[in-house]
Structure 1
Amino acid sequence: MANQKIFIMHYYFITGTSFGLGKAIAEALLQREDVFVYGISRTSSISHTHYKHVFADLSNPSQLSSIIELFEASFTNQDSLYLINNAGVIDPIKYLGDFTAEEILLLMHVNLISPIQLMNAFLKIPQGVKRRIIINVSSGAASKVTDGWSLYGSSKAALDHASLHAAKEMELNGKANIHIFSVAPGVIDTLMQAKIRAVSKHSFSMVDRFIDLHETNALDTPEQVAQKYLKILDVPQEFPKVVFSAREI
């Protein structure tokens, strides 16, 4: 009797797949076999038989339940699950003291609170799966002081720190099949960069540097950076650090 083939599936849950890095990662994964991608964002721009879009606004806490329900599906011990917290906002770029309460809450919900809530729900998935990997898309702003970026930088620094805590807790619990990372992508040619270049010097003194990066073609493409994130997803054991930059790859 011939040996029965073991059916292995890789399930990816990616926030912010409308454009930029999130879309590039999703599209690169969809070129593979045995892959199913759940894209999570306010708008859909991907069409594929192995892709399902979940419409959600991560600034709205009430909309997280539809995402968390995805983690409650039945998975097997041959399945690998991946959560990529990519969605993020940098605007409004302005000095602390100029924000409205609503602007503060919106940015923190998207960049920090929603990713932590999704991590929390993802880690509740029973242990009967082959492996789980979390990648939070961080930023170099997490370790730098840049005027106008107080909310953005602090949200990414907190996300780095949450990732470090979670990784340590998995290690202490002996959960070797769970890997957690917080990875800064570098400077990519995305809609976020366009928003940065449109800010006045009054709110962001370094705007000319970002304009120069664009004009000199010094920005990486989302597709280039996506390949680096895929390498982390494929061989997590080769990346011992929790917090690092994709530029190191």
Structure 2
Amino acid sequence: MKAIVTGHTKGLGASLAYNLLARGVPVLGVARTRAPKLAAEFPELFDEVELDLADGTALAQWLDGHALADYLDGTGAVLLLNNAGMVSPVGPLEQQDPQAVLRAVALNVAAPLALSAAVARASSGAQRRILHISSGAGRNAYPGWSVYCGTKAALDHHARAVAMDEQHGVRICSLAPGVIDTGMQAEIRATPTASFPMRQRFVDLKETGSLADADECAERLVDYLLGAGYGDEVVADLRSLG
């Protein structure tokens, strides 16, 4: 078994990568930066690629090479954790920088969809479990978050359609992990209320200690990913799973 984790250098992605490595699962991390602590602690299990997943050209060039197929060669099971994402741009349409919209769609949608296809093609015959880190924002519209809501909803619908293909050896789930105490939450709290009218809700979650711990969330998420029932619920919420 081998795992690929995007956005593995911070937040939930860092916790997911660490949890898998601690269980003895080899991990390939893909992000703009590197994770020296993981490399030092798990030198035999951890590999990483420094790649900006919001850069479609760079991602296409990497996928056109042999690195992914070489990494997955000979493994009997593959885990793909599409975790990398961004909440910006935030605000109504006239405040959104079109270039920022393009980057968000590339990172939040194009990259996970392309990686899912690439992993499936490069690991034919293996058991493949694909996990999209989604959000409640993909299922409920929030003012100021049209891009974030739209991109997360795309992941949910992608998972539904992939599951309908019933491809042998492929199980997929688009999973909302809950509201986690990460850098993304700090970014949300720093957003002006004029751009994101629901800002105070997230400030209150922090002040009342209601944010989930990233390591605890990763533990539950990996348990589910490795469990027998993974993918039975194609669009799911970690908080409601048994």
**What TM-score, normalized by structure 1, do the two folds share?**
0.89
- The runs of 5 or more residues in structure 1 that have no matched partner are 1-9
Structure-2 separation of matches of 1:205 and 1:27: 35
Match of 2:176 in 1: 184
Distance 1:239 1:194 in 2: 31
Query: More helix per residue: 1 or 2?
Result: 2
1:30 alignment partner in structure 2: 21
Q: Which residue of 1 aligns with 2:206?
A: 214
| Mapped pair 1:44 → 2:34 | yes
Equivalent-residue separation in structure 1 for 2:238 and 2:106 (angstroms): 24
Matched ranges for 1:192-207 at <5 A: 192-207=184-199
Letter of the 2:163 partner, please give it. Answer: A
TM-superposed CA distance for 1:103, in Å, is 1.0
SS at match of 2:5: strand
Asked if the contact 1:232–1:239 (Cα under 8 Å) also holds between the matched residues in 2, the reply is no
User: Which residue of structure 1 lines up, in the alignment, with residue 120 of structure 2?
Assistant: 123
1:75 to 51, 73, 85: 73
Query: How far apart in 2 are the matches of 1:208 and 1:66?
Result: 41
Where in structure 2 are there 5+ consecutive unaligned residues? none
Kindly indicate whether the alpha-carbon contact (under 8 Å) linking 2:135 and 2:175 is maintained by their aligned counterparts in 1: yes
Q: Which letter does structure 2 place at the counterpart of 1:37?
A: V
Partner SS, residue 30 of structure 1: helix
Contact 1:163 1:182 in 2 (8 A): yes
Are the equivalent residues in 1 in contact too, given 2:63–2:118 (CA < 8 A)?
Answer: no
Q: What's the CA shift for 1:204?
A: 0.9
Q: Hey, what does 1:14 align to over in structure 2?
A: 5
Deviation at residue 104 of structure 1 after TM alignment = 0.9
* 1:146 equivalent in structure 2: 142
| Aligned-CA RMSD value | 1.5
In 1, Cα distance between equivalents of 2:209 and 2:76: 40
Equivalent residue number for residue 7 of structure 1: none
Aligned equivalents of 1:31, 1:23: Cα separation in 2: 12
- Counterpart contact for 1:91–1:195, Cα < 8 Å: no
Checking the alignment, whether the CA contact within 8 Å between 1:17 and 1:41 is kept in structure 2 is: yes
Matched residue, 2:225: 233
Whole-Å Cα distance in 1 between the matches of residues 170 and 112 of structure 2? 17
SS at match of 2:95: coil
Q: Give SS of 2:54's match.
A: coil
Q: Which amino acid aligns with 1:114?
A: A
1:88 paired to 2:78: no
* Alpha-carbon shift at residue 115 of structure 1 (Å): 0.7
Corresponding residue for 2:157? Answer: 161
Question: CA distance change for structure 1 residues 80 and 126 in 2, over 3 Å: closer, same or farther?
Answer: closer
- Work out which of the residue numbers 100, 107, 110 in structure 1 matches 2:107: 110
| Conserved 8 A contact 1:145-1:153 | yes
Helix, strand or coil: the match of 1:26? helix
Q: Secondary structure at the match of 2:196?
A: coil
Number of the residue aligned with 2:94: 97
Q: Percent identity?
A: 34
